[in-house]
Structure 1
Amino acid sequence: MATKGKRRRRGAQARANADLGAHIASLGLSSMAEYQAWCRKHGLPGAANKGWQERRDERRLADLDTVASDADDRLKAHIAQLGLASVDAYQHWCAENGLSAGLNKSAAQRKREAQVAERLRADAALLSTRRMTSKPNHTLRRIYEGEFTDDDMPTPLLAKIHDGFRQTDGCPGARDALYAVLRQVEKRSDLLSLEPVVPRFGDEPGNTYIDAMVALALRHADWAREVTDWRPDSHNSRRQFGSLSRHLLALYDVPAFMDTAWFQGRAPDAILRQDWFHGTGTGTNIRKVDGLPIELTKKMAHLLMQAPRTFTVDQALRWTQVVGMGGSEALADSVMATRLGASFDEEEFWVSVVKFLVYNPMLDPGYAEPIVEYIHQQKYAPEQVVGEDGEVTYGDPPHPGFSMRTRKVDALIAAVHEWRGEREREQRVGAQSWDGSGIDPYEEDDADEYGGTRWTIRELTTMKTLQIEGKAMRHCVATYARSCRGGGQSVWSVQAQNDEGVTRRVMTIAVKNTSRMVTQARGKANAHPLGGHRSAWHRTRLREGYKVMRRWAAQVGITVPKHI
């Protein structure tokens, strides 16, 4: 009997210890020492043997601590949101703005304070903007002298000017030159703007008057006249800039289209075209400037100087080339609108295409664009290749040796028509898509004799992906497109990715959406998941893929019949 009594006492003690441990954990503490320290902090006895009423009171006290801590965290976050550093600063700010300096506030009161802070910030920014824009010369001087940082700039225009001065670093004298240009421009013109200047360049970097003035300042060593002597002779901003650039850099006439050289940033090609502007403006024959991408005859040089002012430099060169060879202006406009109007890459070949177009005067100029695109695709565009595993790679162009020699116009036009037809069919196919079934995809990581494998099961929801799957797996799954579009079926691709990142298609699954049942599951060349396969690797992978399919089906609630 004595032994039985001892067992009862030990059992009661264990339950008491367990209850104490649970109680300590409920207070957010992890040990008896922490519990006793917590009790001392709150003026409570640290004894372990307490009644349920005492423990209940302790839990209530801990809840109050949690609430107070959360409230303190929310107060700190609110103070930080207002842009203040401490509670004292917060109370001082509240008093200054006619708000209660108390700390225990409702959500509505704090929302009101956030609105007041936002209004004060907006008022300060507006005041700063007015001060800086009402005295532009004073502001320009302060930016020039380096008084501001990027964060001090209240408007995009001033930020752009600030950045422009930074671009002059490393070029002695350029900062002074830019300051002089900006002061004169602000006084005499409407060129302090961020609007894109050359429509052809759109929002490309460099296409603003500020960028162009930076480019002029970086060439200050070439200036022929003082910028302070410049006076615009037009109210048109493009003409004003043309006048400014010629005042600084030209002693002779420069065609208006060359102004576009200043709106292409500081890339090597842009600097080269700016060199042509300066060379022409100082008397160098345009045929003799360095780096021209095409060969100009005397006739072409004369035509170039008369090219329309709306052209870019590259457009003017291409237009001149076509007209100078004897082509019509209509053909020149069509060629200029192709990729050849913006690039002289591979010019040794492309000039033969230009000659072909010129030497076939009865060819509709409208064919210039499709002919150029067709030839580019055949000779230079990497060909998309779908491998047996379905992976898309890019190989050599279809016909890298494409040549215009002995090329007949009728045969070329026929090839262009065929190519365009194929593209249109591909675009129609690519545009065919449908909503997903709503069944979840699947991923899992596995390891086997081949190493680590990431398995994925993804739904195919476009005609293009069905075609790629069918080509890679050598079956006719693309015929499911109509059923998928109607929502009756869905098609899924089971793929395995190895440790080296190589992904292979293993199996294709067809699911009847209404009954959520697998209707087909086949590997390459319609191989059954549990059947034979000539390749041991494919046989093993296919069976593993079958197991993955069953785990996916169990997870998403799909039935896999026994015969699958």
Structure 2
Amino acid sequence: MIQRRQDAERERIQRCEAALRRTSLPARAAPDFDRALDDAMRGHAGETVREPHTWQPRMKSRDAGRLRLAAARHLFARYPVTPVLERIWQDDAGLAADEIRLRRRWYVIAARGGSLYKEGAGAWLTRKEVHAFLQSPAHLAFDTAFWLAIARSFTSDPATALRVARSKIARAPRGDIVFWREVARFFCAHTAPVETIDDLCDYLQACRQQDPGYCLAGRTLPALLRRMHEWHRDIAAIERIEALRRRAFGRAARGPAAPATWPGSPLADWEWAPSTREAKARGERYVVRQLKQAEDLVLESRAMRHCVSTYAGKCLAGQASIWSLRRCVQGRVDRLLTVEVDARNVAVQVRGFGNRLADALERNVLERWAQARGITLR
């Protein structure tokens, strides 16, 4: 009986110890100070102002970011640095490797007391803007502080500068800073809410992609807003044409990146250069090009101020093809006429800007094109 009691007590103790092992927390690892030093020194080993072995931290934190920042302060900091620059040691998620190196480099220069303008930031910022950047409020992100420094050089109103810095301008690629500085200057002179600036930034980015030489010189805010709304209407028209195309061609056109195009007429594009005696300018030539993309059709409709974009359904069904007559002189392209050709190669409609009729010179060019391509002109 005594033996059974001792065995039962031993089993109870074992069950209690097993339950404690299941519920007790594992021992916390000690802070990895050596790793923090290695991470902070990577790429900057020859720029330290203190020896790594002299670091005697009294930190209980196991957070790698906080340890890395403390190590960077020990290794490089002769002077206090804005938290805008310090934050790169704590969190670099989502940043490219080149951007991480740049921001850490800027921290090391500023912390050691070097000239940030001469040693790194002078490629993008003026001396005044570098000074403003180093004095940025602690709560701002790096890109916001960067563009706030630029905006403050264009306006004395802090609220206007902050709106510009918090807009999509702050996400602009730094390699295209010349253009986006111009955009920042524009919005400092023409105040607008952040939401309006963001919408216009999308429009300006699209303009920049289509025309690398696009600039804001001589433009006004109402004119930009009007053109932005036209651009949105064009996008909506292209989406409607794409929906028509998918319905017309079925599953074969349902790829997520399928362009809004159609086969069009088998007739080839045409080009003619007048003789030296007939030409009105040196290098003059005329081009007739078929429009087989929704974007081209919508741009033609907007440029010529007529409704040719509504003919997309006929183009998709193979009932018509749309052609654009253009005059090219020394790099300049002028749209002259838009021509609708039916399935029997008959030009059923010819319209210019605002639905005007063709003049004598344009009719002469059309007749040459029609004769070369076997098209009947009404």
SS of residue matched to 2:69: helix
Report the more deviating stretch, 440-449 or 489-498.
440-449
**Closer/same/farther in 2, CA of residues 375 and 190 from structure 1, 3 Å limit:** same
**Closer/same/farther in 2, CA of residues 241 and 312 from structure 1, 3 Å limit:** farther
Q: State the match for 1:124 in structure 2.
A: none
Instruction: Identify which of 294, 297, 319 aligns with 1:466.
Output: 297
Alpha-carbon separation, structure 2, partners of 1:392 and 1:341: 18
**Closer/same/farther in 2, CA of residues 447 and 455 from structure 1, 3 Å limit:** same
SS of residue matched to 2:131: coil
Contact 2:264 2:315 in 1 (8 A): no
Instruction: Identify which of 99, 120, 134 aligns with 1:264.
Output: 99
Q: State the match for 1:491 in structure 2.
A: 322
Contact 1:436 1:461 in 2 (8 A): yes
AA aligned opposite 1:293: A
Contact 2:82 2:134 in 1 (8 A): no
Aligned-pair distance for 1:249? Answer: 0.8
Q: State the match for 2:367 in structure 1.
A: 546
TM-score by length of 2: 0.51
**Closer/same/farther in 2, CA of residues 189 and 458 from structure 1, 3 Å limit:** farther
Gaps of 5+ in 1: 1-186, 193-208, 281-288, 358-367, 385-390, 403-411, 534-538, 554-559
Gaps of 5+ in 2: 1-32, 90-97, 115-127, 152-156, 246-260
Instruction: Identify which of 457, 461, 468 aligns with 2:288.
Output: 457
1:242 and 2:69 matched: yes
Aligned-pair distance for 1:521? Answer: 3.9
**Closer/same/farther in 2, CA of residues 523 and 246 from structure 1, 3 Å limit:** same
SS of residue matched to 1:457: strand
**Closer/same/farther in 2, CA of residues 485 and 278 from structure 1, 3 Å limit:** farther
- CA offsets, 1:380-421, max 9 Å, x none? x6997xxxxxx9985645755x7xxxxxxxxx9xx9998886
Alpha-carbon separation, structure 2, partners of 1:252 and 1:395: 41
Contact 1:511 1:520 in 2 (8 A): yes
Aligned-pair distance for 1:547? Answer: 1.4
| TM alignment of 1:328-477, pairs within 5 A | 336=166, 338-339=168-169, 345=181, 369-373=194-198, 394=214, 396=216, 399-400=219-220, 424-433=232-241, 434=245, 435-440=261-266, 441-444=268-271, 446=273, 448-449=275-276, 450=279, 455-462=286-293, 464-470=295-301, 472-473=303-304, 476-477=307-308
TM-score by length of 1: 0.37
1:512 and 2:351 matched: no
Q: State the match for 2:124 in structure 1.
A: none
Aligned-pair distance for 1:544? Answer: 3.0
**How high is the sequence identity, in percent, across the aligned residues?**
20
1:527 and 2:357 matched: yes
Alpha-carbon separation, structure 2, partners of 1:488 and 1:419: 32
Contact 1:489 1:511 in 2 (8 A): yes
AA aligned opposite 1:439: S
SS of residue matched to 1:466: helix
Alpha-carbon separation, structure 2, partners of 1:520 and 1:242: 71
- CA offsets, 1:491-515, max 9 Å, x none? 11133434x33333344221223x4
Contact 1:370 1:416 in 2 (8 A): no
SS of residue matched to 1:292: helix
Pick the structure with greater CA Rg.
1
SS of residue matched to 1:293: helix
Alpha-carbon separation, structure 2, partners of 1:373 and 1:317: 17
SS of residue matched to 2:130: coil
**Closer/same/farther in 2, CA of residues 290 and 393 from structure 1, 3 Å limit:** closer
Contact 2:167 2:197 in 1 (8 A): no
- CA offsets, 1:427-479, max 9 Å, x none? 31343445323424424464523265655433224555335434555655344
- CA offsets, 1:45-66, max 9 Å, x none? xxxxxxxxxxxxxxxxxxxxxx
Q: State the match for 2:141 in structure 1.
A: 312
Alpha-carbon separation, structure 1, partners of 2:113 and 2:195: 36
AA aligned opposite 2:349: Q
- CA offsets, 1:199-237, max 9 Å, x none? xxxxxxxxxx79x943x35xx45x221246569977655
Alpha-carbon separation, structure 2, partners of 1:423 and 1:472: 12
Q: State the match for 1:60 in structure 2.
A: none
| TM alignment of 1:44-123, pairs within 5 A | none
| TM alignment of 1:4-43, pairs within 5 A | none
- CA offsets, 1:26-51, max 9 Å, x none? xxxxxxxxxxxxxxxxxxxxxxxxxx
Q: State the match for 1:189 in structure 2.
A: 35
Alpha-carbon separation, structure 2, partners of 1:191 and 1:487: 70
Alpha-carbon separation, structure 2, partners of 1:476 and 1:349: 34
Contact 1:258 1:277 in 2 (8 A): no
| Bigger relative contact order (CA 8 A; separation at least 6) | 2
Aligned-pair distance for 1:274? Answer: 4.8
Alpha-carbon separation, structure 1, partners of 2:350 and 2:226: 37
RMSD of Structure 2 on Structure 1 (CA): 5.6
Instruction: Identify which of 285, 293, 311 aligns with 2:132.
Output: 293
Aligned-pair distance for 1:543? Answer: 1.5
Alpha-carbon separation, structure 1, partners of 2:186 and 2:62: 44
Alpha-carbon separation, structure 1, partners of 2:372 and 2:186: 58
SS of residue matched to 2:50: coil
Q: State the match for 1:276 in structure 2.
A: 110
Alpha-carbon separation, structure 2, partners of 1:484 and 1:427: 19
**Closer/same/farther in 2, CA of residues 547 and 421 from structure 1, 3 Å limit:** closer
- CA offsets, 1:151-201, max 9 Å, x none? xxxxxxxxxxxxxxxxxxxxxxxxxxxxxxxxxxxx943899xxxxxxxxx
SS of residue matched to 1:448: coil
